[in-house]
Structure 1
Amino acid sequence: MPVKSVRAALIPLFTVTALLSACGDSAEPTAQAPKIPQVGVVTISAQDFLLTTELPGRTKAFRVAEVRPQVNGIIQKRLFEEGSEVKAGAQLYQIDASVYEAALKSAEATRLSAGTLADRYEILVKDRAVSQQAYDEARAARLQAEAALERAKIDLRYTRVLAPISGRIGRSAVTEGALVSSGQAQAMATIQQLDPIYVDVTQPSRDLLALRRDLDAGRLQRAGDNAAKVTLQLEDGSEYEHEGRLEFSEVSVDSSTGSVTLRAVFPNPDRILLPGMFVHAQLVAGSRSDAILAPQQGVTRNPRGLAVAMLVTDDNKVEQRIIQTERTVGNRWLVSDGLNVGDRLITEGLHMVQPGMQVEPVPAANVDNAGAANTAEQEG
């Protein structure tokens, strides 16, 4: 082979070798340190709060009066508007009074006759013109006549059917021209006092027993005056603007439901609450001064269903801990065991960590710290 051809063939080979040598000198491997994951943490602290219990209930009228006739007769007038507010003592109906007016006149005449005879015998008995027995009978007849006169006045007064209480009157069950009788089973109308109004709620007896155990053991303290306060949530989810107070608790347990009835009374000036409405009442069960409330974002469940929290230790390593939760308190868990004051709970980046892993803790941004300051939350 000619020398020029050999040189031409070797030049590309030398060029590739030089390039590879140069690359090998500059491409020495460099070891990169593993990146430490960053997690958001919340420092656990103890706080005061009022423990409230949400119970279902129904509203009931403060007073209910069924209007019935006290005398027999024909209805002549209806003097109220259905669904309106009536005052105690206002006339509702007028029953035909002609018969009772005549009876009153007859009773007055009888009273006058008996009284005259008794007065005359009183003079004669002193002169022994009549016997003492005749005089006593005349006095008795006068008393009977006075009683009959009073009864006649009462019957005449009953022809004016009056409202026994103040409140809202419902529909009328009778109209003009209807015959009514004393003591009839059907009410002519019903009046209900709606301001204030009762709310009857039911609480399982087992919850009362658990509450009493917590109070006796010192885990809860009695809430003092706050225990008498009750708030309401209406059927549409809105909050009722007026606050009520607890009146009393039944002294026996309903054998069919195993629950105890509690009664609260609420002001109802705008007549928003009507009898029979379904509501939720929040009652203060007690207070706790050293409660630990953990954000729900930092609590998960393991395959066995136990509550698990991921914590950051003093040397910034992840520790998994099983905790005990009692109930939800707003957007937090009330923790009874497993967490201590000062623990750093991971609420952000849980999907990136494992127990024992080194992490970089930073303040969590996914927790509303304002909610932790609330001292009264509702039971979930």
Structure 2
Amino acid sequence: MRKTIILSAIAALTILASCGKKQEQQAPPQGPMPFPVQTVERQDATTYEEYTANLEGQQNVEIRPKVDGFIQKIYVDEGQQVRKGQLLFKLETQTLNQDAAAARANVNAAQVEVDRLAPLVERNIISKVQLETAKARLAQAKAAYASVAATIRYGTITSPVNGVIGTLPYKEGSLVSANSQMPLTTVSDSKIMRAYFAMNEKQMLNFTKTFKGATLQQKLSNVPPVSLLLVDGSEYDHKGKLETVSGLVNEGTGTSDFRAEFANPEAVLRSGSTGVVRIPIQRKDAILVPQNAVFDMQGKQMVYVVQKDNTVKSKVITTATTSGLNFVVSEGLEAGEVIVTEGTSKLKDGMAIVPQQAAKAETATPAKDTVTTATTKTTTVTKK
């Protein structure tokens, strides 16, 4: 009985194994896999060149004393908004007050002498020379008194411009002078902020070729409004304008200095901070391909081009710049060619695929939460 059961089990296993082999033999071979593709087209695009910039107020005025003295009173605090003519500091001028009293006494004495000699001259008792000499001494005494009085006024320091108070390195009671290494403070007029950045010689050459104009100033006037990326990656609300560029290349750095200006009505921008100036450049009939379609091989950028028989062939391309989603191709592709947009890692030359037309990806301004730390960066936006 046991022997019969064992033989039955062996027979069942043999039947199952033979059925499995038969099903494997009957499974049809796998055909070409579907892949998304896109037809290459020429289109107008706007590329952005980005330059790291230092921000400064339109006026950064150092406040320095004209006389030596102890700081008697500080009337402002760091970061405070001040108006032109507002009192900032009061220096102790007790010694100067004593000098002023002595000078005033000299003026009175000289006036008394003139008053005494004048009637004597009228009666021809003394010569006019004596009176003129006394008048000269009076004028000299008045000049000395005016000089001391002006020096005393220098002890009262007011703001020369509207702006924001910087740091206050000195405290009340500190001795300061006109030769002090640090200023009393700095007043920054930040209604208009200036962004300073530099281009190297190659970038400067591209700039002069891109924008029309017989002079640098004319080229600057033809540059569209520029934007500013803040340190948190967000784009500043107000557009700016390129205002100046240095006429000579800095021999030490090999760069040309630019200045862009931005309105700052909400006081968002502060002197001493940094940002990224973005210069828009118009490109006509550019070829754009999705970044996912491009792969690197041995240091070269490549794409898979779909042939007429639906096989793929790798092709080397050269990209000029990037956007958040696309590469701008300068060499290697022509309008009308069909490329694979995704899954390139699964392909190899000569492999057959089933092309499926992919929806065109929206080409937009690069994400605002990404800020380049390099000197320059280029991004792209496509015009529809």
Work out whether 1:295 is the aligned partner of 2:307.
no
- Point out where structure 1 has 5 or more consecutive residues left out of the alignment: 1-28, 217-221
Which of 48, 52, 57 is the equivalent residue of 1:56?
52
Task: Please give the residue correspondences for 1:307-346 in structure 2 after superposition, counting only pairs within 5 Å.
Answer: 307-313=301-307, 316=310, 318-346=312-340
- CA RMSD of the aligned region, Å? 3.9
Work out whether 1:361 is the aligned partner of 2:355.
yes
Q: Which amino acid aligns with 2:41?
A: S
How far off is 1:344 after superposition?
2.3
User: Which TM-score applies when normalising by structure 1?
Assistant: 0.72
Which of 144, 159, 162 is the equivalent residue of 1:166?
162
Work out whether 1:87 is the aligned partner of 2:86.
no
- Which structure's CA Rg is the greater one? 1
Matches of 1:238 and 1:99, distance apart in 2: 55
How far off is 1:363 after superposition?
1.8
Which of 131, 149, 153 is the equivalent residue of 2:149?
153
Task: Note if contact 1:293-1:372 (Cα within 8 Å) is conserved in structure 2.
Answer: no
Question: Aligned pair in 2 of structure 1 residues 215, 235: CA closer, same or farther (>3 Å)?
Answer: closer
Matches of 2:84 and 2:276, distance apart in 1: 32
How far off is 1:182 after superposition?
4.5
How far off is 1:163 after superposition?
2.2
User: Which TM-score applies when normalising by structure 2?
Assistant: 0.71
Question: Aligned pair in 2 of structure 1 residues 152, 332: CA closer, same or farther (>3 Å)?
Answer: same
How far off is 1:94 after superposition?
2.2
Question: Aligned pair in 2 of structure 1 residues 150, 372: CA closer, same or farther (>3 Å)?
Answer: closer
Work out whether 1:240 is the aligned partner of 2:239.
no
1:201 is aligned to 197
Matches of 1:180 and 1:214, distance apart in 2: 53
- Point out where structure 2 has 5 or more consecutive residues left out of the alignment: 1-24, 213-217, 367-376, 380-384
1:371 is aligned to 363
Matches of 2:211 and 2:182, distance apart in 1: 50
Question: Aligned pair in 2 of structure 1 residues 67, 267: CA closer, same or farther (>3 Å)?
Answer: same
How far off is 1:254 after superposition?
3.8
Question: Aligned pair in 2 of structure 1 residues 230, 359: CA closer, same or farther (>3 Å)?
Answer: same
Which of 225, 246, 252 is the equivalent residue of 1:250?
246
- After TM superposition, the structure 1 stretch with the greater mean CA deviation from structure 2, 118-127 or 334-343, is 118-127
How many aligned residue pairs are there? 340
Matches of 1:123 and 1:361, distance apart in 2: 119
How far off is 1:61 after superposition?
4.0
Q: Which amino acid aligns with 1:84?
A: Q
Matches of 1:178 and 1:346, distance apart in 2: 73
Question: Aligned pair in 2 of structure 1 residues 352, 168: CA closer, same or farther (>3 Å)?
Answer: closer
- Write out per-residue CA displacement over residues 213-246 of structure 1, whole angstroms, 9 at most, x where no aligned residue: 5669xxxxx9976725332333333333333322
Percent identity reads 29
How far off is 1:364 after superposition?
0.9
